[in-house]
Structure 1
Amino acid sequence: MLYGSAVTALILLGSLGESYPTSPDHALPPGAHPPPWPAYLLVVAAGVVLVWRHRWQVEVLAATVVLVSAYSMLGYVYGAALIAPAIALYTTVSYGGVRRALLLGAVSIVLLMVAGGPLGPWHTIGGPATVVPFEMAAAVCLGLAVSSRRAYIAAIQDRAERAERTREEEARRRVDVERLRIARELHDVVAHTMATINVQAAAAAHLLVDPPPQAAEAIAAIRSASKEGLRELRTILNVLRQADEVTGTQPTPGLTHLDALIASSRRAGLPTTVHTAGTLPALPAAVDLAAYRIIQESLTNTLRHAGPATATVELAARDGRLCIHVGDTGAGTGATVAVASTGTGTGTGATPAVAGTGDGHGLIGMRERAASVGGVLVAGPAPEPGGGFHVRAELPFDTVSAVYD
């Protein structure tokens, strides 16, 4: 505000000096006369609008050019008033690019020269109109210099921020590497030693015949302490490795565990039957695991959303593919068909979602399971009258290795 007031006062005083020259060298043009006081409102307004030049650059530039041009076209000398459009042009260019600067500068020069020349008090290109190109060009150059300076400082700050992020990421990476190294040392040395102690104590308790009570108590204490130490060590290792879940000791599940899965589903209240067409061949580990997880997730979804229902699991091997069908007879809450793309990434399946199941992550997980081994998966409500929800998947087991080539 103070800056705008100072500029406005300077413009007004300069305009008054031009209206009442004190020497013949600065005389008014022939036929011109000092403006009445209302005319000075134009140059005052041109200075006042500069207060908003940082918020509305182009609008303020246009306003100053129009106000100063109108003052000149009324027959009054506008030399001092040119300060307002010059400042507005400088501000506008400092926030824009080179093309914008050249365009705005050219338009401002043309309008101000025409208003101060043929349409002004001189009726030709003379007087203050001759300095318009130089004054506006200086404003453009100064604005471009400030704009380049701002861009340079912004680039330096961006590089500094990126460098800081890189240093933080490198520090985190080194911490993670050291954490994993410590975890490996603990696992390879301490865990092995503790496990050996536990095994040897168990063997001693089994081999000793009628040991003294003190010896039996000592062996039992060793077994208990080593077992507890292994449990605590496993917890420490999981923290060091930042594991999402405790590493299990169970074998990787597959279709050989399907009977246990079906029994668990029945105990949970979902009558489930299994039909296998012929004898299934030996499956690659990845396909075996994917098939188990797809069936497991399908039965879990049925338990959650189908309501009172029964489920059927059908397995068959056809043309080098394991065909899986899991269907239920429940009413459910409706679903949207979800088709998985192939493992090569050329499919066009839509993102699956099940109404009433949140964001449909279960179907997304099954789709990704199928795609990971080059298979496809289709899930959706069955047509009436049977109803229910059905999941069908085909997983190739002859060419599954091609997915990883």
Structure 2
Amino acid sequence: MTARDAVGALVLLLVLAVPQVVAPERYASTVASAVALVVACTGLVWRRAHPSVAVGVALAAMVGSAAIDADSSLAFAPGLVATYSVAAYAGRREAACATLAMIVAYPAVLVLVGGKDPFGSYVVLVVILIVLAAALGAAVGAQRAVVAAARDRAVRAEESREAEAARRVTQERLRIARELHDVVAHHAAVISVQAGAAEALFDKRPDLAREAIGHARDAGERVLSEMSSLLHLLRDADEPGASASAPGLADLPGLLDEARSTGLEVVERTVGVPRSLSPVLDLTVFRVVQEALTNAHRYGTGRAELSVVHGADSVVVEVVNPLPSRTAVGSEGAAGQKRASGASGPVAAHGSGLGLVGLRERVAAVGGTVETGSREGSWIVRVSLPVPAATADRPARAGTTDAVRPATQEAP
């Protein structure tokens, strides 16, 4: 029951009752028809909440009035409204049963009790009006269902857009976190080592201390430069500076020189002929080597072996560094090399493990695989990156051959 339905029922009652009161001699209504009108209009109070109740009340009033006076039709108008309501607001089966009851019961009373001609215009008109009321209600109900479905789809689409936007924001945050870690962690480690060396050599070997300070300064300048490039990469594509080049294979020699300047002995081995890689894949190779060498310096024994293998449809990067004896013994109990499924191993034991997490995410983004683990006293990071066929046959970009020499060779 709603206030709107109550007001509507009262208005209909007044519209039908006032003429009977003003000109009773013209309409010649009986007490029974007046009571039937009031009862039928009362049932309309529930026409939306309980449409079947409204139909039942209206039909009872119509049948009772017709049984007493077949010519009285005051309750017929509320009955049509109830029929419309049950077709518009109830289920299909409920509406069909209610409409059928109206079509059968009321005309039957008119014919059997009131003596009306079953094929006369009066009975036929009653049936037609009941059918039209039910059809109009069904059409309105169908339109309402279509509108509700469209509104529901719009709500779901909006929720889906919001979820997609949240997912993209999360992915962007992870991407920024990976870039910041890769840019800052490596150079911060270099600065820390060089600053410590400068402090230790300041009194006895000022020349070497000055050299260490120079390396620290260079590392600081490089991190500032890479931070600037990172900010450019995070810009929209339409903004100036968005196409600033990111580091890649061509920059590996500089990365290795920087690692060696910290005291890390790096043995480089390149197999196969380098080819031009996509910017994302090129950056991934660089970051993998950078992260692996940083961890090798921080947690290893001061030596690392880097292997870059250019296959027909992949690039495989492997960094192997000996573990300190204590760490090696503790790690040999594991079942050898294992696929990384979390921040594990000696790196995670001493650090936050975020570097390996970011490395796995970065490699997974380009469809590659990561394997980390200890084997024979060494920590191994092995990354396999697929090279699309469209780029596999392209020659190396300018500068790449300087960074990674073709054929199989080693550089101490």
Give the TM-score range, shorter chain: 0.3 to 0.5
TM-score (norm 1): 0.47
Q: Which has the higher contact order (CA 8 A, sep 6+)?
A: 2
